[in-house]
Amino acid sequence: MEGGHYPLRAKEISTLVVNLGNRCNLRCSHCFVEASPERTEEMSLETVNKVLDVLRENPEITLLEVMGGAPELSPHFRYIVKSALELGKDVKVPSNLAVYFEPGMEDIPRFLAENQVKILASLPHYTEEVVDRQRGQGTYKKAVAALKMLNELGYGREGTALELDILFNPAGTSLAPDQQMLEKAFKDNLMQMHGITFNHLYALTNIPAGRLGKSLSREEKDAYMRELREKYNPETVKTLMCSYLISVSPEGRLFDCDCAQMLGVPLKNGDLSIDEFDYGMLSRREIATTQQCFTCTVGIGQSCGDVPELEHSVA
Ligand code: SF4
Ligand code: SF4
């Protein structure tokens, strides 16, 4: 990492990010996981229980983030959410929204509301044209219907504890506009067009790997990486996700973050599994950085809320 921040070191682990599997009802053009309905990787019940053991044994971990693919499609989704809540953890679930219209998923919004689970709803734009181009025909209408349903349950409404945030990602290799400006544009447009409200918007930068990576020529990829490097903001290093989380793959392997998981970059300490979880060692680990880390250090960074108060966590 440039700017005198190398090597990067974790500071603590307050969040466990668990990938329940790469199956998804969508097949988005930017997806670095290359998730789709045909993917079969799935976390077993045995591994889910090991994850719960780690949560139980480590009170410092206060948040479980359940991701996928579409995490709701996992047969263990409700079990892991309920069990983590019973252990006193907060739970956050990223959702593509359209998944609520898949068979058997209809009551997921109510389940999440009853359990006060935070939702990070991915929506790449407030217009139908852009969303359907990136995520597939008909996904915008489903997303709008889902957001309205969540609002009716109290999500994203003032005076309720039900948090609904929007995750924005740009198309292809464009960089996200200013996050505050974008949040205002989304709030104004979604309210005006559909009467939809939400709490916060987080703007992400696309990772040039997976489906997006394969669609780019060598020159396009180089130009994108060059732009990310040129726009490096050292301030973002204070709140890098890898400073405070560990990511668990469907097979139970541990990684510095989702990006490292998808790229297959093991921890610097070795290729460890959930059975070998050692809080003391992992919370002081050196991070295995790659070129892709520049997607986290552009603009204001890649953190989606709940960034713990960290001291400068790099050596
Ligand atoms: S970006 Fe998200 S919603 Fe789209 S295919 Fe990938 S996992 Fe599914
Ligand atoms: S890509 Fe992962 S390891 Fe690299 S800076 Fe971002 S969160 Fe950290």
CB of 35 sitting under 6 A from ligand 1: yes
Closest ligand relative to 120 C-alpha: 1
pLDDT above 60 (res 273): yes
Give the CATH number for residue 221: 3.20.20.70
What lies within 8 Å, CB to CB, of 86 at 6+ separation is none
Mean local confidence (pLDDT), 55-62: 98
Is residue 7 in a domain? no
Which range of residues forms the domain containing residue 78? 15-295
Is residue 198 in a domain? yes
Distance 68 CA to ligand 1 centre (A): 8
> Domain tally for the chain?
1
Tens-digit pLDDT profile for residues 165-185: 999 988 788 888 889 999 999
Distance 95 CA to ligand 2 centre (A): 21
Is residue 6 in a domain? no
Distance 174 CA to ligand 2 centre (A): 19
Residue 315 binned pLDDT confidence (cut-offs 50, 70, 90): very low
Is residue 307 in a domain? no
CA-CA distance, 167 to 169, in Å (whole number)?
Answer: 7
The larger pLDDT score, comparing residue 7 to residue 38, is at: 38
CB of 27 sitting under 6 A from ligand 1: yes
The whole-number pLDDT of residue 177 equals 84
Is residue 303 in a domain? no
Average pLDDT, the chain: 91
Mean local confidence (pLDDT), 245-252: 97
pLDDT above 80 (res 300): no
CA-CA distance, 5 to 99, in Å (whole number)?
Answer: 40
Residue 239 binned pLDDT confidence (cut-offs 50, 70, 90): confident
The whole-number pLDDT of residue 176 equals 83
Q: What is the pTM of this model?
A: 0.91
